[in-house]
Structure 1
Amino acid sequence: MPVANNELNTPPAVVLLSGGLDSATTLAIARDQGFACHAIAFDYGQRHRAELDASLRQAKALGALSHRVVHVDMNQFGGSALTDFSIEVPEAHSQAGIPSTYVPARNTVMLSLALALAETLNSRDIFLGINAVDYSGYPDCRPEYIAAFEHMANLATKAGVEGTRFRIHAPLIDMSKADIIRTGTGLGVDYSLTVSCYQASPDGKACGHCDSCALRAEGFAAAGIADPTHYVKG
């Protein structure tokens, strides 16, 4: 859906906008770099669907030209605490290795659909907010994954074959959560509009106990910025 109608003469970019802190910062960075941004969010069967409403709020607040929600039913496969309600969301820092909140192939599926949108919009730039510092061990949040996907994108598309290369931007890849928050604050991101919790209530309130909540709270504390997160009482 359209969100704004300005910046029509600037280069277009597709921004994966989940509704969380990192993706909101990424949208602000893309906008600051002079791109006309088209936001794409995914309803993939996640238990924290409140993030989709947050995604639209951020798209409006940060001047995205459009906002789309793509439906991909990944909960029919299960295999993740985020898409299988029989698997409990782990408490903060309670698991070693790759946590159960990892969703198999999620970033690959989402980037592939973002790539399709980019090609139809005649955009060659895709932004996403993955982070290799506070990334919880997910294998598809590493720099080598981004490099591999970019290589594939330029092999597998008409635009790439014809010589107009795609670029996959991951501006947060080497940043701490505190640095992300400082950057976004400087670019005018209203973090009270974001939802990061893996088991947020329908109205977007955070549990305060999961890994995502812990990383977020630690980030605001380290940044020395007041945490605007809305928590479930009790």
Structure 2
Amino acid sequence: MKNRKALVVLSGGQDSTTCLFWAIDKFGKENVSAIGFDYGQRHKLELECADKICKKVGIPYEIVPTPIINQLSANSLTREDIPVEETKPEGAPPNTFVEGRNLLFLSYAAIYAKTHGITDLVTGVCETDFSGYPDCRDIFVKSLNVTINLAMDYNFVIHTPLMWLNKAETWKMADDLGVLDTIYNETLTCYNGVLGEGCGHCPSCTLRRRGYEQYMEMKKCTK
């Protein structure tokens, strides 16, 4: 894949940043760029984290304002008056689910990619630890890949390196890529906007911490 260009959908969180380094490894740094979206998220600091990491490794990063998501979707990530639920309601997505977010992000990314001669899109969505978000499922990504190819008459390939990995395996990937410390200390996964280890009690922090502890235990057992 070293002769192709890749665009990473980069939020600045653990998953997308791990995918950034995966893309650098697979495509070569000179062929990788990244795009992020400012949709009025309460953890907007994640975009600053993404920008700093891209500057650090020399990757072009474009932040695109997408306020329409905030206007149309009422959820705890775009509304300060809706607290982040610490437990997922039975039979329903958590209130952190932003309707259509990945659909829009990947569509916007595809438009940007085509105008820049990029065929490969990389996203950190994951079905194994998808938290009940329907737009993180493999079937959705495959369906969208066909749709945007038809809509733009262009041969996009959407890569999902984390699709079948749990959080412990995602930490392992970061370690294998030599960026474990960067992911641990410089990314923002916390829904409440706390860098690194996060607030410790929102669903995203809980999932991240549990995966890290599991990976550290696995690593210890293999020594």
TM-score by length of 1: 0.85
Distance 2:196 2:18 in 1: 18
Other-structure match for 1:209:
201
For residue 174 of structure 2, what is the amino acid of its counterpart?
G
Please list the CA deviations of residues 129-169 of structure 1 after superposition, one character each: whole Å capped at 9, or x if unmatched.
Answer: 001011101000000001001000110114x2xxxx11010
CA drift at 1:204: 7.0
Which residue is equivalent to 1:229? Answer: none
Is 1:171 matched with 2:161?
yes
* Residue pair 2:76, 2:96 contacting (<8 A) in 1 also: yes
Q: CA deviation at 1:85?
A: 1.7
- Offset of residue 205 of structure 1: 7.0
1:46 counterpart residue number:
41
Q: 1: CA distance between counterparts of 2:192 and 2:74?
A: 16
Cα 1:129–1:166 shift into 2, 3 Å: same
The reply on whether 1:83 has 2:78 as its aligned counterpart is yes
Q: Counterpart of 2:161 in structure 1: which amino acid?
A: P
Q: Specify the code of the residue in structure 2 equivalent to 1:208.
A: G
Confirm whether residue 12 of structure 1 aligns to residue 5 of structure 2: yes
Whether the 8 Å contact between 1:89 and 1:100 is mirrored in structure 2 is: yes
Aligned to 1:22: 15
| CA root-mean-square deviation | 1.7
Q: Distance in 2 between matches of 1:43 and 1:172?
A: 23
Query: Aligned pair 1:31/2:31, yes or no?
Result: no
Q: State the SS of the aligned residue for 1:14.
A: strand
TM-score by length of 2: 0.89
Instruction: Write the distance in 1 (CA, Å) between the matches of 2:57 and 2:136.
Output: 24
Match of 1:122 among 94, 98, 117: 117
Which of 29, 54, 70 is matched with 1:59 structurally?
Answer: 54
Aligned residue for 2:169, secondary structure, equals helix
Q: Indicate conservation of the 8 Å contact 1:28/1:62, yes or no.
A: no
Q: Which amino acid aligns with 1:123?
A: I
- Judged with a 3 Å threshold, the aligned counterparts in structure 2 of structure 1 residues 156 and 89 are, in CA distance, closer, same or farther, namely same
Shift of 1:77: 2.0
Most deviating of 185-194 and 66-75: 185-194
Q: Which runs of 4+ in 1 moved over 4 A?
A: none
Once the 2 structures are TM-superposed, how far is the Cα of residue 86 of structure 1 from its aligned partner?
1.9
Call closer, same or farther: CA 1:205–1:182 in 2, change over 3 Å: closer
Tell me which of 42, 48, 65 is aligned to 1:71.
65
CA–CA separation in structure 1 for the residues paired with 2:57 and 2:126: 21
Is the contact between residue 81 and residue 87 of structure 1 (CA under 8 Å) also seen in structure 2? yes
Residue ranges of structure 1 left out of the alignment (5+ in a row): 1-8, 226-234
> Equivalent residue of 1:69, what SS?
strand
Equivalent AA in structure 2 for residue 82 of structure 1: L
User: Once the two structures are superposed, what CA deviation does each residue of 1:145-201 show, in whole Å capped at 9, x if it has no partner?
Assistant: 01001000110114x2xxxx1101011000010111111122122111100000114
Q: Is the 8 A contact 1:114 1:126 kept in 2?
A: yes
Conserved? CA contact 1:50–1:204, under 8 Å: no
Aligned positions, number? 209
Give the fraction of aligned pairs with identical amino acids, expressed as a percent. Answer: 38
AA aligned to 1:47 is: R
